[in-house]
A and B are shown apart, each in its own frame.
Chain A
Amino acid sequence: MNLLEIDNLRVAVDGKEILKGITLAIPEGEVHAIMGPNGSGKSTLSYALAGRDGYEVTGGRVLYRGEELNGLSPDRRAALGVFLALQYPVEIPGVTTITFLKTALNAQRRARGEPEMDAMQVLKRVREKARALQISEDMLKRPLNAGFSGGEKKRMEILQLALFEPKLAILDETDSGLDIDALKLVASGVNAQRAGDRSMLVITHYQRLLDYIVPDRVHVLAQGRIVTSGGPDLARELEQRGYAAVVEAA
């Protein structure tokens, strides 16, 4: 069964059409990668799936577990199990990481009609997940992402993936700005979250991330359309031949 079905999706930003008819289906439990050159619409796709203001759907539809996502606010989508790890995680001065995590977790639970967790329960759960990602107690007490290194910010995104346990995880250029050690750590954090009832959409510019997070399918996005799809080998072909050659051949 498909967890996500994107059908001929068109999205405009500031009146300019960026996505020009995307069609894509991700079965439950599969990891799909979207690769594409700069400006192909990768981030636009991730923001549109998360429901960000200003990303106007001008055509097509997005079905998530059979339900239309269009028109739902980002917080509703999050409560339904859609998670977006951002390319550039945002700093929130004065709000400690643990406070932010507790607020978000309980907001999602409340929206789903589940009981809220108290501070101790949240802390225990966060600590369990933080250990594997080498996130220190000190980082949890600091304001969210404020003064964090690039690698720390990305690990914090993956911590949230582990904490919220979404059904659909969209990872937008999670590898950008990471050195090889940080990349391995983040990738193993992501792999730990692969599960039969969880699908992932991994958006990346480079093939190297896909050496560590091996996808079931690879799609190439160019000029707002998916021009070709294939297995993990397609990523390696892109790396060798370059986007231009592959896009042209498609």
Chain B
Amino acid sequence: MTTLELETTPTTTIDARGSFCPGPLMELIRAIREGQVGDVLAVISSDNGSKTDIPAWVAKAGHKLIGVFPHEGYDEIVVEKLK
């Protein structure tokens, strides 16, 4: 998949490209803390660890992983805040 195919437009997009682990995850956590239930957050990360660390965190924290979408040089990880 090269493009994001979402029915919902992300409420917030966090461009964390150039930031290294755990930067992108910490940016997502901050946005989750500040956001509302139902918000859809897209994290754009060029750090390879994000595509495993962020889904693992989302599972533990009880939110919904909508998907990990690979692009040229970065991944887009989309999460819905459930609580």
Report if A and B associate in a common complex: no
Interface set of B (CB-CB < 8 Å, partner A)? none
